[in-house]
Every structure is written in C-alpha cells, then in structure tokens.
Structure 1
Amino acid sequence: MADVEGAWTRVSGEAVNWLNELDPEHCYSGFEPPRRPDAAWLLHAMYVWQDGLVTTTHDDVYRTFRAAGLAETGPGGEPEVGELLEGSVVTGTELGRSGHPGEGWRRLRWAELARGFGEPVVPEGEAPGNRCLRQAHPTGSWSAAIEPPAEGCLDRESWHRLMALLARHSPDGADTVCLAYYCPLVTADWDDNTVLSGRLMDAPELYDHPEMSSCPSNLWAADRSWVVYCDWDLWGTKVVGPVALIEAMLADPGLECLRLPWTS
C-alpha cells in the first residue's frame, strides 16, 4: 500500500465545482449531494462500557477532575482548556477521528439506545446529529459509560468497511479513480478548495492523512457514480449512488445505516 501523501495528489479546487452547484449553502462543512439515484446515512459508531450505563456524565467527570486540579492546563501550568469550558457543558462528543476505545467497551447501536428510550433513531426532519437520542444526553452531556458518536468524521472501522463496499460496487473496483475534498473547517484554508486525487485502493489511508484531522468531507468516484458526504457538524455520513450499493450498506452487519426520506 502506497504512502498516503504519495498516493494522493493535490489537484485544482475547481474539481469540486459540480458539488457546489448541487449544494451551494454547505461548502464550508461539506457538500450534501441529492440521491444518485439512492441514498443512505451511515451512523457514526458509539460504544458503551461493558458494565452498563451510569448516571455520572462526561461533564461530571470533567468538573471533578478540575476541582481536584487535574484538568488540562496550558504552558507553565496556567489554566487553558478550563477557562474555555467555564460555563459550558462537556458533552463527551469528539470532533474528528474516532474508533473503538479498546478492551471493556462494546458497540452500542443507535437503534438499541433508541428502543430503550422509546424514541426514533433520527427524528423526522432531522439529520444525524445532536438533536438525536436526546434522552441519552438530556443536559447535553452523555453518560460517562458511553463514548458517543464523533462529530464531523466517520469512525475508523466504518470508514474502512465503507471503502471495501465502494470498491465492490465500482466498475473499476479498487482501481477506481476518485477525488477527496476537505472543507475549510478541516483545513483552515478559506481561500482555496483542498481537493486530492487518487485511487480507491488507497482511500482507507486517507482516514489518517497526517495533514488532516478528519476523513474527507466528500469523496467521490471520478465518474460521479457515488459520493460520500461527511459534514463537519453531523454524527452521520451520507452516501449516494446506485441502489445496489445502498442496499449493500443497509445489509452490512458491521455498519449501522438507514434511509432518511426527508433528506434530499
């Protein structure tokens, strides 16, 4: 497998213009394409501690650590993060990359949690995000026994599984030429669109690109037969493309996917 920086080449930012025409309002956080002809949302993975839920929240844990003088500090021991968080709620939600937390944790499906609280997985009219599963984080902070879905980036395990599915449903398989767009909220470049070109066989390594803090905001086949959309503000990743691809995603036991008919 090629080194990610050698396998992916920077190309003109104009390569993303066609997505901008489809969704001109969301360029700063990723472009949401309409169905082509089908679409599904891949829910970012969450995990629960093996002993079950606790009422203590991530915010409670942070406040306890801070009161004990163990919260993060800046250079010279001066408070840094603590001052920023004063008066705010520590939700427990990560921004950017995520993955399985390790031994003692198990996958917690959105559907499992929703059933327990008697609420929909994603409320009608919403996209997967912080308005979902509200009874699991009523104050804004999740139980400390839950690693909630990461915001803005698909989890590592689901990303790798999705790349394999895309290869199986692309005419050129792993040799499919594709392009990756990183939005300004990831790159901090507000002047030029960051677009890379490479092959699908090297897309798994994009997840840990050393110059980025997230997976691509959009990834698409050069023939535009499918598009992946990962908005910096959401807990789900949208995939649009052929019906066979979407059906394969929905049937994959390692992924948690659903169609949201109210999204374009």
Structure 2
Amino acid sequence: MADSEHAGVEDAWTPVPGAAVGWLSELDPDHCYSGFEPPRRPDAAWILHAMYAWKEGLVTTTHDDVHQSVRAAGLTEPDVTADADLGDLLEGAVVTGTGLGRSGHPGAGWRRLRWAELARGFGEPPVPEGELPGNRCLRQAHPTGSWSAAIAPPAEGCLDRESWQRLIGVLIRHDLGGEDAECLAYYCPLVTAEWDDETVLAGRLGDAAALYDHPAMQSCPSNLWADDRSWVVYCDWDLWGTKVVGPVSLIEALLADPELEALRLPWTG
C-alpha cells in the first residue's frame, strides 16, 4: 500500500479514549488481552479463516519437514536468541505452517480449500462440538501439529484479507447507516503491545475495509462494532475464526454469502 493510502487510513480513523471499549469488557472480562467475545445479540456466526490447497494435489511432506530440510542444508541461518533457555525451548518446536496476523490468497497455483470439504474427507465436523475455531479443529489434517506443505492453513488471530473485505460489504448493506455508519475498532494488547492503554479508533463503516492495512497494526481489529452496538465483530488473537453477533438478518446473510465460510456454533453463546 502506498504511503498516501496509509495516511488516508490514519486520517479516516482517529483515536478515542480507551473507555469506549468498557461495555465489551463488561460482557467478557476475561479476554481483555486477546479481544472481547460478546454473546449473541440476538444471533451469532463464526466466519472461518480461509485456507488454500496447492492445485496439483496434497503431499505428505509437512511445513516442518520443509523447514528442517532447509536448515539441514544450511540454507538459512540458525535461530539466534539472547535467552539461552528460550533457545533450548524453541529447538524442538514444530513449524506448523499456520501464520499469525494478516493473510490472503497465496497466488497462482492455489485454490480455496473449504473447512467443510476437508472435514468431510475425514468424516468429522469442521469445528467439533464444544470447541472454538482453532488448532483443535481438523486434527486429522495436522496430527503432528504441522500441516501438509501443499496446504496454506487458516491464519491465527486475524481474518483473511478477502473475507474481511467481504464482511465489511455485508455489514454496509445491513447497517441502516450504510457506508456512513459510525463504528469503532479496538486492537488488543497482543496486537499493539500497549499494555497500559486501550487502543480504540473511531471512523466510518465505509472506511473499515482499509483498516486491514493500518500501518501501525499487524492485524485486523480485535473488535469492530457499530456505534449503536447493533452488531459486533470479534477476532481473537489465538483463534482461526472471527465471530459476528447482531440481528438474525445479518447473520443469515453471512451464512448465505458464497464467498464466506460461516457457521453457527451454539455452544459459544
């Protein structure tokens, strides 16, 4: 994104006092560091973060296998850390292939792989009952923790770019204010590294798609909500899914959207 476009995002979204997120904190006091999960108001759905498969087919080689092979060949520098204990801990870590933060279509040669398609092949639901969309899902696809190198798995902590843009379009069509609807965006401390002050921005819903590339952030907002609180978006830094709560008509539109993969998870409230 060009510098002028970065400036446009920052001009369109202005900081407001952190107290603006207080009502969400009251709804979910235990999730202040990774985003606030609101209960259904009155309905809710989870948008599953997109994953992609190499069009030529899957392989048994995992992302960790590739990483270990590259390191063994001396093609990358060994990980260096000032903390020897941390270095020992990371030595046996598995490279899962899952990214953290922004993601999007990998480019030519890749196709969208729906959670439902992969889960159907294993005879299991995309999200097991009682679970949230995260690393406990689709376990047969990554039994060792590392995914096939021919799969770009769902990103953690942030909705993928294409789904974010699609979501904003649906919100614009269902909010009475349309593009001019006032809304607020909250970025949790795990995104901002600001542990003493809440980071909240205010702007127009019509400018919310550009928040995905806010130069000061590495993620979409942890929460985005209408000023009248009629809908709320929640993206936990530790999950592979983004929750949207609001009117039944909005939720049904998300569930029916052909570009989104969304589902209701009643046990999440």
Please state which band the TM-score falls in when normalised by the shorter chain. Answer: over 0.9
TM superposition shift of 1:201: 0.7
- Report Cα offsets for 1:35-90 as digits up to 9, x if no partner: 1100000000000000111000000000000001112x3xxxx6438957410100
Report the Cα distance in structure 2 between the residues aligned to 1:31 and 1:239, rounded to whole angstroms: 12
Structure 1 residue runs of 5 or longer lacking an equivalent are none
Aligned partners of 1:70, 1:164: CA distance in 2, in Å? Answer: 43
How far 1:175 sits from its partner (Å)?
0.4
1:162 partner letter: L
**1:253 corresponding residue in structure 2:** 258
Q: Distance in 1 between matches of 2:80 and 2:246?
A: 45
Coordinate RMSD, CA, aligned? 1.4
The residue type equivalent to 1:80 in the other structure is V
Are 1:223 and 2:228 matched, yes or no? Answer: yes
For 1:25, which of 20, 30, 48 is the aligned residue?
30
> For residues 91 and 104 of structure 2, what CA distance do their matches in structure 1 show?
28
Stretches (4+) displaced over 6 A: none
SS of 1:262's partner is helix
Per-residue Cα deviation, 1:90-122 (whole angstroms, up to 9, x for no partner): 000000000000000000000000000111110
Local SS of the residue matching 1:166: helix
CA distance in 2, matches of 1:19, 1:138: 36
Amino acid at match of 2:104: G
Q: Which SS does the other structure have where 1:3 is aligned?
A: helix
1:226-248 per-residue CA deviation (whole Å, 9 max, x = no partner) reads 00000000000000000000000
Aligned to 1:36: 41
Distance 1:53 1:223 in 2: 46
Where does residue 211 of structure 2 map in the other structure? 206
TM-score (norm 2): 0.94
Residue identity over aligned pairs, in percent, reads 78
2: distance between equivalents of 1:101 and 1:208? 17
Partner Cα distance (1:85, 1:137) in 2: 19
State the partner residue of 1:146: 151
TM-score for the superposition, normalised by structure 1: 0.96
Separation (CA, whole Å) in 1 of partners of 2:51 and 2:79: 30
Q: Deviations over 1:200-248 (max 9, x none)?
A: 0110010010000000000000000000000000000000000000000
Q: Which runs of 5+ in 2 are unaligned?
A: none
Partner of 1:106: 111
CA distance in 2, matches of 1:247, 1:13: 32
Distance 1:161 1:242 in 2: 18
Partner of 1:61: 66
